Chains A and B, each alone.
Chain A
Amino acid sequence: MAGQQSVKKFRRTRGQVYDNCAYAMIFPAYFVFTIFILVPIGVVFYYSITNFNLYSKPEIVGALNYVNLIKDADFLISVQNTLFYTIFTLFPQLALGLLAAVLLYRKSRLLPVFRTAFYLPNVMSMVCISMVWLWIYDPTFGVLNMLLKTFGFSTKQWLQDPDMAMFCVILMSIWKSCGYSMVIFLSGLTSIPDSLYEAASLDGANPFRKFLHITWPMLRPTTFFLLVTGIVNSFSVFEQVNIMTGGGPLKMTTTIVHQIYRRGFLEFKMGYASAMSVVLLAFSVLVTVFVFKYGSKGQDVDVS
């Protein structure tokens, strides 16, 4: 009896030591997460119910900032533009990334060159890329208009045309990001067992049917990951908008983060900008939860 008690005590002690060790190991990461993410989020929540203007002591104004948000036409336009940007950037980017991955998933000497070329834009600074595309879209000296002139078409005012400006920003964003999707899809493709394709070949399946019934279903977890991270990234679009269009013309390209920047850092309305940030956070969480709930089916494919 006494022996059993000493064994239990020994196990409990070892367990405690193990737990303490684990806690000590994860402490730095949690500490950084708390200080640099959780606390700032809490501070933003607090500022969102104040009239904070960067310099004077904030006074609590309750839900006034949130009420004003609903009436703010610029904010509502920015929400609409952000959703538009997300939809028209994310799906083409995923489709092109998948296409590139499938085409480049084979053995060839030139493949590393192509893979690097496709992925290169993703590692470049968004600011640099925006400047390059600003030149491409330049109405007078831009490459696009030069091409149009060469083929006898009339030139376009790409970023100055309210109907085209957002599509110009979207095109650049797709170009930059589809390399990232391609790399993630390529890693997903390597995890699909060759035996499935061999079996399908024996059954006489053509490449399209193999893609439809093997590749695509097996890539669902990868697609889901890209979808969730893509949504979050698209909601925070800012640099390219600020550099290429400044949110114009006619606010056709202003986004939520661009509005947060303008209100907070140019008009000093930090309280109001914080309320926008809280709404953006809530929006991102809601959409992510929705995607997790309805978009993550079929992730338990077992081919072992």
Chain B
Amino acid sequence: MKKMIMPLCAALAAATILAGCGGKGEPQNAALAGDSGAENGAVQTETVQAEKTKLTFLRVGTEPERKAYWESAVAAFLAANPDIEIEYQECGYGDDFETKLNTGFASGTAPDIINFTMASMGTRVPLGQYACLDEYAAQWDGKDDFMENALTLGSVGDSLYGIAVFPDPRILIYNTELFAEAGLNPAAPPANWEELLEYHKKLVKKDGDNVIQTGFGIPTSGTNMQHYLSVFIEENGVKNLVDEESHQVLCNTPEAVEAAEFLKEIADAGIIRWDSNNSDQNPFASGLAAMTLGNMTDFHNWNQGAVSGKIAMASPLTHKRQATFCGMGFMFMSGETPHKDEAWRFIEFIASPDEMWRRYEELGVTPMRESLRERYVAENPENNGIIYESINCGTGSPKVAYANSVYNAVNDAMERVMYGVEDPAAALDTAAAEIQKEIDNQ
């Protein structure tokens, strides 16, 4: 008997450990229902819940004002769709979100609907993580009203994968007070490279060798450096860092090198070093830089901080052409969700004109429908016109499967350029070689 008891105890202990490691599976819910005193009531509740389709929605970012919007949007959708239940989740930008999504897909627990950036499409569409929306878009009456550039940016090849919700153009933002102090006209921001460099030099202040105020604030390290280079290479006539169709590496073309050399010239004239991964370090936010590139959220946040009431937007610079980087936040449907129809209903709701206008009123987000364009510009002709201009001439990240390697290689190269350890041509050649290696490995 004793011999039997020992292995039984061991098995019980092991089973307890494994049960403790278990997730929130159905058996646990069933057990909880069975434990309740009002068994009949619990069974009824379970039946009602079983009729509801449960969706998980994960959005990128943790900003409180956006969280409030999303929670109210989910509540409004649920009120109109009582057969659906949505679990709202959020996670910060950058590596954390990528990791969360990767582990979700790897473990079969990916969210049904994902709000994420355009940059993710290059990697996740080929892996089948984002569902193609062509079938739904074909029957969607909102498609013809949608901004054409937004639909283009949400497509890979000829197939639509994302519905744009948050346009994210990089806008030239400047500090009018610092302009006035330096004898520059606050109503006349730079319009081209020559003026940018001239203004930058006039705005730099030094204390010995230390730069205590800079003109054009550009980061010297971090994962956003490729955005800054993208803006300038596109203004210099280059299509993107990589050609999405032909997979030709473009980041080391003579025009791209010229753009990097221009950024280096700005750095040599005097900049305050900062890491773009830590947005708190951005010298523009503290009034130590007179110009920088930022998105609408940055503008909104800075306008409530140390430089409140002193900042303004400027049209994208023109060199060979007018251009800027324009990221985009999309609604994606998971390729693995078994509830595609329900997920589309939520995406369609979020892309409706009423929700778009509510996003504008609550968050200042540009509506992406042509029918709302005039109304939007009329609301704030000074800034909204510039935002529309930036979205229209904006190009986003290259949507290629090796996009992360492109960003890493270009960020590393620009860091070497900014720290002066390598000249722009050599650094971008190294980046191009690394990218080409990734292309060859595909």
Contact = CB atoms under 8 A, between A and B. Distances in A.
B273 interface: yes
Nearest to B283: A140
Contact of B415 (A20, A23, A159, A250): A250
B146 to A, nearest CB: 31
Contact of B98 (A31, A32, A265): A265
B17 A28 contact: yes
Nearest to B3: A20
A55 interface: yes
Contact of A250 (B17, B280, B416): B416
B348 interface: no
A54 interface: yes
A24 B280 contact: no
Contacts of A32: 17
Given A27-B14, A140-B288, A242-B95, 14 more contacts: A20-B6, A21-B6, A24-B9, A28-B10, A55-B105, A55-B106, A140-B283, A141-B286, A157-B273, A245-B275, A246-B222, A262-B408, A266-B408, A268-B404
A188 interface: no
Interface of B: 2-3, 6-7, 9-10, 13-14, 17, 95, 98-99, 102, 105-106, 123, 127, 129, 207-210, 220-223, 272-275, 277-278, 280-281, 283, 286, 288, 404-405, 408, 412, 415-416, 419, 421
5 contacts: A138-B281, A140-B286, A154-B209, A246-B221, A262-B408
Contacts of A246: 221-223, 275, 277
Contact of B102 (A134, A139, A141, A268): A268
A21 B3 CA distance: 9
Interface string A148-159: 000000110101
A266 B415 contact: no
B220 A160 contact: yes
Contacts of B127: 55-56
- Across the A-B interface, the 3 shortest Cβ-Cβ residue pairs: A24-B6, A160-B273, A27-B10
A27 B98 contact: no
A224 to B, nearest CB: 33
Contacts of A138: 280-281
Interface in A240-282: 242, 245-246, 248-251, 262, 265-268
Contacts of B278: 134
Contacts of B3: 17, 20
Contacts of B7: 24
Given A17-B2, A138-B280, A250-B421, A24 B102 contact: no
Contact of B419 (A23, A56, A242, A250): A250
Nearest to A74: B412
Contacts of B99: 265-266
Interface in A200-245: 242, 245
A54 B104 CA distance: 11
A155 B288 CA distance: 14
Contacts of A31: 14, 17
Nearest to A247: B221
Contacts of B95: 242, 265-266
B221 A140 contact: no
Contacts of B129: 55
Contacts of B209: 154
B67 to A, nearest CB: 21
A267 B6 CA distance: 48
A162 interface: yes
A266 B98 contact: yes
Contacts of B106: 54-55
Contacts of B273: 139, 157, 160-161
A154 B6 contact: no
Given A31-B14, A249-B220, A139 B208 contact: no
Given A54-B106, A155-B210, A248 B275 contact: yes
Contacts of A134: 278
B419 A162 contact: yes
B276 to A, nearest CB: 10
A139 B286 contact: no
A22 to B, nearest CB: 10
Contacts of B98: 265-266
A175 B207 CA distance: 32
A157 B209 CA distance: 12
